[in-house]
Amino acid sequence: MKEKEEVVNINFLKKVWYSITNFEQYPVMATEGLLRAIKYLTILTAIVTVFTMISSLLQMNKVIDNLAQYIEQNIPDFSITEGKVTMDLEQPIIIEKVKYTGIDKVVINPLAETDEQREQSEEAETVSGITVFFFSDKIVLISKIDEEQVNKQIYTYSEFVKNYTGKNIQTFNKAELIGYLTSSKMMQFYIRYGASMYIYLLLINIIYALAVSLEIAIFGWITATLAKIRMKFSVIYSMAIHSLTLSMILNICYIIVNYFINFKIRYFETAYVVIAYIYIAATIFILKDDLIKRMQEVERIRQEQKKVKEEIKEQEEPKEDEKEEKKKEKDKEDGEEPQGSEA
For the question of whether the overall pTM of this predicted structure is more than 0.75, the answer is no
Element (H, E) at 93: strand 93-95
Q: What are the extents of the domains in the chain?
A: 1-75+176-331, 84-155
Asked whether the beta carbons of 40 and 15 are under 8 A apart, the reply is yes
Residue 30: phi and psi, rounded to 5, are -65, -25
Please report which confidence band the pLDDT of residue 306 belongs to, taking 50, 70 and 90 as the band edges.
confident
Element (H, E) at 326: helix 268-342
Q: Give the C-alpha separation, 306 to 300, whole Å.
A: 10
By mean pLDDT, which of 78-92, 126-140, 260-274, 288-302 is the weakest? 288-302
Highest mean pLDDT among 51-60, 121-130, 213-222: 213-222
Q: Looking at the predicted structure, is the pLDDT value of residue 159 above 70?
A: yes
Of 51, 50, 11, 56, the residue nearest 29 (C-alpha): 11
Q: Looking at the predicted structure, is the pLDDT value of residue 5 above 50?
A: no
pLDDT of residue 65: 83
Please report which confidence band the pLDDT of residue 4 belongs to, taking 50, 70 and 90 as the band edges.
very low
Asked whether the beta carbons of 172 and 185 are under 8 A apart, the reply is no
Please report which confidence band the pLDDT of residue 288 belongs to, taking 50, 70 and 90 as the band edges.
confident
The alpha-carbon radius of gyration of the chain (Å, integer) is: 39
More confident of the two residues 299 and 209 = 209
Asked whether the beta carbons of 191 and 176 are under 8 A apart, the reply is no
pLDDT of residue 98: 65
Residue 119: phi and psi, rounded to 5, are -65, -40
Of 107, 105, 182, the residue nearest 138 (C-alpha): 107
pLDDT of residue 144: 76
Q: Give the C-alpha separation, 284 to 233, whole Å.
A: 13
pLDDT of residue 325: 65
By mean pLDDT, which of 142-146, 243-247, 266-270 is the weakest? 142-146
